[in-house]
């Protein structure tokens, strides 16, 4: 049995690092495991301008633990009034790595999101021309669509026409959760990729209702039926360059999760590589972890692969019940469980 693996340093292609005290509490977990991360722009107010992204990048770098070697890659939050010239300038200056499309009201801090993608035609033409990736939270927001169907309906109603109308636009369908998403991405051209989170590889929707309501297993897109988890898992471990690592680590303080209306988001950063290693190990394809974690993402974005390596050892690690930093308390994914792999760095 393999007792340890060493792979090229990985990156996280979708993370929420937050701001202020929460940023200080969580950034070290991501920086310990990953060389780079695509940092989601859904702050209040959202990151819309080049100046705001530069300032946020500065705050992230300031919050890093001493000696950390970590590069945040910034993202522009799209609104109905997104300015193609400003966004292209940010991309060309190396400030914005991508744009993020949140359908308005799809998830946490998405009130400023896009109400109708047709309003963005000029911007999408620009992005297609300059090769700037569009990252999509792929869920419709109509309240008459069942929450478990919102990703599949988004693919049918929004993504399929989008890919037809902008055939060269680079698109990442973020945090896929369904067989429909895995099939759509696998069946599209090389310009379409997808990120996959640890939780959507590990839990299905039963985890949210296991003996009572479990707010720490609730994120968006919400975990689906077992058959979908298996389809997403198959895609992740397939070795296809279209699927890559994106944790969607989304911390919320305990009080905001354990509430009458709890926030969506799972904080998986502390044991992210442990989670993924366990999945690839269970599937008998540990040799494919490196592609998923360290190669497919940079190749899709057209960025260089990281230098250096990290090692994971087959050792039991017990996950703490709560991660604490000053007044901040966040329950991590796998709280209280034993992981079978340990990230040594």
What residues numbered 121-140 form the site for ligand NCD, per CB under 6 A?
137
The answer to the question of residue 176 lying near ligand NCD (CB under 6 A) is no
DSSP state of 222: P
What track of x and - describes contact with ligand NCD for positions 245 through 264 (by CB under 6 A)? ---x-x-------------x
78 belongs to the binding site for ligand NCD (CB under 6 A): no
Active site residue 80: no
Shortest distance, position 313 Cβ to Zn ion, whole Å: 29
CB of 19 to ligand NCD, least distance (A): 12
Token reading at 8: 């090229």
Q: Is 240 or 249 the residue whose CB approaches ligand NCD more closely?
A: 249
| Cα 219 to Cα 43, 82, 185, 265, distances in angstroms | 17, 27, 22, 4
Residue 127: CB minimum distance to ligand NCD, A: 20
Task: Annotate 260-320 with three-state secondary structure.
Answer: CCCCCCEECHHHHHHHHHHHHHHCCCHHHHHHHHHHHHHHHHCCCCCCCEEEEECCCEECC
**Contact partner, 286, from Zn ion, ligand NCD, none, Cβ < 5-8 Å per class:** none
**Alpha carbons 137 and 254: distance in angstroms, whole number:** 24
- Local structure of 326: helix, strand or coil: coil
- Alpha carbon dihedral 41, 46, 50, 54, in 10-degree steps, equals -60
User: Residue count at the site for ligand NCD (CB under 6 A)?
Assistant: 11
Active-site choice (142, 248, 321, 327): 248
CB under 5 to 8 A by kind: which of ligand NCD, Zn ion, none does 220 bind?
Answer: ligand NCD
Applying the rule CB under 6 A, the residues between 183 and 222 that interact with ligand NCD are 219-220
Cβ distance to ligand NCD smaller for residue 194 or 286? 194
Distance CA 85, CA 287 (A): 43
Rg (CA), the chain: 19
- Phi, psi at 290, each rounded to 5°: -65, -40
User: With respect to ligand NCD, which residue has the nearer C-beta, 34 or 333?
Assistant: 333
Question: Active-site residues: which are they?
Answer: 248
Residues that bind ligand NCD (CB under 6 A): 16, 42, 107-108, 137, 219-220, 248, 250, 264-265
């Amino acid at each position: 049995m393999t007792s340890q693996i060493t792979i090229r340093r990985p990156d996280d292609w979708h993370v929420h690092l937050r701001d202020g005290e929460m940023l200080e509490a969580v950034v070290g977990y991501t920086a310990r495991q990953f060389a780079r991360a695509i940092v989601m722009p859904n702050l209040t107010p959202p990151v819309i301008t080049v100046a705001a992204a530069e300032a946020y990048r500065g705050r992230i770098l300031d919050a890093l633990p001493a000696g950390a070697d970590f590069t945040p890659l910034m993202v522009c939050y799209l609104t109905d009034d997104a300015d193609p010239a400003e966004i292209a300038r940010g991309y060309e200056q190396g400030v914005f790595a991508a744009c993020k499309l949140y359908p308005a009201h799809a998830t946490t801090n998405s009130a400023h999101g896009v109400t109708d993608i047709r309003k963005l035609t000029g911007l999408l033409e620009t992005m297609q021309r300059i090769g700037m990736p569009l990252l999509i939270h792929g869920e419709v927001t109509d309240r008459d669509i069942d929450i478990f169907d919102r990703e599949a309906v988004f693919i049918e109603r929004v993504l399929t026409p989008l890919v037809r109308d902008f055939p060269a636009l680079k698109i990442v369908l973020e945090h896929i959760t369904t067989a429909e998403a895995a099939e759509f991405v696998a069946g599209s051209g090389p310009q379409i990729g997808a990120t996959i989170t640890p939780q959507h590889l590990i839990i299905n929707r039963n985890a949210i209702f296991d003996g009572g309501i479990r707010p720490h297993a609730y994120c968006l897109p919400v975990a689906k039926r077992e058959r979908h988890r298996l389809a997403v898992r198959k895609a992740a471990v397939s070795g296809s360059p279209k699927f890559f690592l994106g944790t969607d680590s989304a911390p919320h303080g305990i009080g905001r999760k354990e509430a009458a209306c709890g926030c969506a988001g799972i904080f998986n950063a502390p044991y992210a590589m442990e989670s993924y290693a366990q999945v690839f190990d269970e599937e008998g394809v540990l040799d494919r972890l490196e592609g998923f974690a360290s190669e497919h993402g940079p190749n899709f974005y057209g960025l260089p692969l990281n230098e250096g390596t990290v090692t994971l050892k087959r050792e039991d690690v017990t996950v703490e019940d709560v991660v604490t930093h000053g007044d901040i308390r966040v329950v991590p994914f796998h709280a209280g469980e034993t992981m079978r792999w340990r990230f040594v760095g």
